[in-house]
Amino acid sequence: MAQQHQISKAVISRLPRYYRYLRVLIEEGVERVSSEELSRLMKATASQIRQDLNNFGGFGQQGYGYNVKSLYNEIGKILGVEQAHDLIVIGAGNLGRALVRYKGFSTHGFKFRAMFDIDDNLCGKSINGVKVYHLNGLLNFVMKNKVDIAALTIPSEDAIKVSKQLYSLGIRYFWNFAHTDLELPSDAIVKNVHLLDSLLELSFEASRSKEH
């Protein structure tokens, strides 16, 4: 997959959506799909879809469309879902607990291995089979266990501090729900989920429409 180097961020960000739609098609028993059919379904142009999928060598056959299952598997491979990804969650509050309880992640290879919190009442408990440790035990855990991705569901200042600690322990992938941008070296990959930001965009649209 040498050509992956040239793939734009925009294409990458669209892959999970392809993956999601293909899964629906598989569940509905659809075996082949044309770029035109995908286009109607996904509300993107057929040429955009062909272009996107061509980035990965092109799975389509002129006139026959795409084999849904192999396209799904190929995109899954590209997205890395064939490999197991071990996650820890920093923060065992409502959001952290919602994450480890959500069923959709484990089917794609994401395994929650531990949660960490500073609340003594939570430490020692298990949430959906995932044990909550005291944050003091982070170093020890990361030294003894494979950790690929750290999810941060703690307040902003704590997130900045703890993410630096996690970085120094070798973790490079961060799923950040804290309401701040992290301050990490450039080889750290951070995916932010700023819930308030997305809500503010909605409220912007809502108040704008009231003006007219």
HEC string for 120-170: CCCCCCEECCEEEEEHHHHHHHHHHCCCCEEEECCCHHHHHHHHHHHHHCC
Residue 186 phi/psi, 5-degree rounding, is -70, -15
Which of 54, 102, 136, 140 binds a copy of itself (CB under 8 A)? It is 102
Of 49-57, 104-112, 116-124, 160-168, the window that binds a copy of itself (rule: CB under 8 A) is 104-112
Segment holding 50, helix H or strand E: helix 46-54
Q: Residue 144 or residue 208: which is nearer to a copy of itself going by CB?
A: 208
Provide, rounded to whole angstroms, the least separation between the CB of residue 64 and a copy of itself.
Answer: 26
Which of 25, 33, 71, 78 binds a copy of itself (CB under 8 A)? It is 78
| Range 175-204, binding a copy of itself (CB under 8 A) | 175, 179-181, 189, 191, 193-204
Q: Residue 108 or residue 113: which is nearer to a copy of itself going by CB?
A: 108
State yes or no: residue 44 binds a copy of itself (CB under 8 A): no
Please calculate the CA angle 62-66-70 and round it to the nearest 5 degrees: 135
117: closest CA among 142, 150, 89, 148? 89
**Rounded distance between C-alpha atoms, residue 151 and residue 167, angstroms:** 13
**Rounded distance between C-alpha atoms, residue 94 and residue 99, angstroms:** 9
| Residues engaged in binding a copy of itself (CB under 8 A) | 1, 4, 12-13, 15-17, 19-20, 24, 42-43, 78-81, 83, 85, 93-95, 97-99, 101-102, 104-105, 108-110, 148-149, 172-173, 175, 179-181, 189, 191, 193-211
